[in-house]
Each structure stands twice: as structure tokens, then as C-alpha cells.
Amino acid sequence: MIGRLNHVAIAVKDAAKASETYRFALGAKVSSPQDLPEHGVRVVFVELDNTKIEFLEPLGEASPIAKFLEKNPDGGMHHLCYEVKDILAARDALVAAGARVLGDGNPKTGAHGKPVLFLHPKDFLGTLTELEQV
């Protein structure tokens, strides 16, 4: 079921500053910041040969990453995203295996305009795990 690693998301207080670190220290190719108000985040995409890194900065009052940054004021790895071919089939297999899907259990449109689901971190080694249908 599991496909490629689509991205690793890192929560940060300042996406522009994080970009500079990756651009200058690591020589990475980074996008300009993009606001996604419907997701409560400002994002920067870092393109690597084999995957992407996404910096997530909180946007607005009810940002889903605000709490994470309260607990991790320096930022930190927020989630991993794996690609799947059929997100509903993947969800049904995971639920049958006892995994918990966050929210109402139905896919939502993610930051890349594709259907995504999030799996409970307690069921996946303490790591919030996103599935994206590609």
C-alpha cells in the first residue's frame, strides 16, 4: 500500500527564516512562502532530488500547528507524508488493522490539492503520518 515518501513537514515559527537556513547552509532550492489560510499555515517547499521538505508556519488563530510549537518552541518534525494510489482503500485497510484516522475519517484536500488523511501518531510510533493520494 505505502508508496514514496512525498514530504517531511517541519513546524517552524518563521518559514522565511527557515528557508534562509536551508538555502544558505544546505544549498537547497526553496520556494517562496505561500499562505494556505484554509489549512491555517504558511508553507515553504524545499525540493530535494528524492522528496520534499515543507516548512509549516502557523497562520491565523486556529492554526493546527500552534500547539505543536508551544511544546516545541524551536520547531521540529511535525509529520511524514507517504503516497498511496487509492486513499479510501488505504484507509479501510488501516482501520481494519486498528489504526485511527484523525477527523471524521474522510479525506480532505491537502496543501497540494490532492486528497489526504492523517493517522493518529500513537498508532505510528509517535509520528503524525499523512497519506496522500497521487
Q: Which lies closer to Co ion via its Cβ, residue 83 or residue 130?
A: 130
CA-based diameter of the chain, in Å? Answer: 46
Q: Which stretch binds Co ion (CB under 5 A): 17-25, 37-45, 64-72, 75-83?
A: 75-83
Q: Residues in contact with Co ion, total (CB under 5 A)?
A: 3
Q: Active-site residue 47, yes or no? A: no
Length of the chain: 134
Q: What is the distance between the alpha carbons of residues 59 and 28, in angstroms, rounded to a whole number?
A: 24
Is there binding between residue 80 and Co ion (CB under 5 A)? no
CA 87 to mean position of chain CA atoms: 16
The three three-digit cell numbers of residue 60, written as one number:
491565523
Q: How far is the CB of 43 from Co ion (least distance, A)?
A: 9
Is there binding between residue 9 and Co ion (CB under 5 A)? yes
Amino acid at 4: R
Q: How far is the CB of 106 from Co ion (least distance, A)?
A: 17
Q: How far is the CB of 3 from Co ion (least distance, A)?
A: 15
Amino acid at 13: K
Is there binding between residue 81 and Co ion (CB under 5 A)? yes
**How distant, in Å, are the alpha carbons of 41, 97, 106 from that of 65?**
8, 28, 20
Catalytic residue IDs? 130
Binding site for Co ion (CB under 5 A): 9, 81, 130
